[in-house]
Amino acid sequence: MVELVVRRHKCLNPQCPAVTFAEQNDGLTSPHTRYTPLLRTLLTSIAACLTGRPVARLAAALNIHVAKDKLLELLGGLPELPPVSVRVLGVDDFAPRKGDSYATILVDLEERLPVDVLPGRHTEPLTAWLRGHPEDRGGLP
């Protein structure tokens, strides 16, 4: 167990918009955050491997209290990966929720990673996506 003592300082200037200041410990605390940078990195890494509810259950098993919405927020803060050339593309449709409208998922079958999710399950979005990604198509037009 780590016990951390942080001093709080009052600003004596009446025109100052901040009334109090708390000292920060580099690498251990960050202003206006609930999680340490290390815990934030850990949760982001776990969330990148799993989805919302399973990550929340795993975090609860590790005695880390975090909501699935916070995990999605952490994922949203990740930088986008640079576009890669996909040699073998898998295409499938799915319903995000039972009874909902459909979506189309594109998967890099060599890397076993999702590449994109397109709205609906019609050919037009897929055709536009393929036109925007002119990778080698093995002699296909």
pLDDT in tens, 68-81: 788 778 888 777 76
Considering the domain boundaries, does residue 72 fall inside one? Answer: yes
Clarify whether residues 15 and 72 are in a common domain: yes
pLDDT of residue 94: 84
Considering the domain boundaries, does residue 2 fall inside one? Answer: no
**Cα distances (Å, whole numbers) of residue 60 to 37, 55, 67, 95, 141:** 19, 8, 10, 28, 51
Clarify whether residues 52 and 102 are in a common domain: no
pLDDT digits (tens, 9 = 90+) for 115-135: 888 888 888 999 998 888 766
Clarify whether residues 45 and 105 are in a common domain: no
Clarify whether residues 40 and 62 are in a common domain: yes
**Domain that includes residue 125, residue range:** 89-131
Q: Does the reported pTM lie above 0.85?
A: no
Whose CA is closest to 114, among 72, 81, 140?
A: 81
Number of domains in the chain: 2
Residues in Cβ contact with 39 at an 8 Å cutoff, skipping those fewer than 6 apart: 64
Considering the domain boundaries, does residue 68 fall inside one? Answer: yes
Considering the domain boundaries, does residue 84 fall inside one? Answer: no
Clarify whether residues 26 and 71 are in a common domain: yes
Considering the domain boundaries, does residue 20 fall inside one? Answer: yes
Clarify whether residues 63 and 94 are in a common domain: no
Considering the domain boundaries, does residue 83 fall inside one? Answer: no
Residue 79: Cβ within 10 Å count: 5
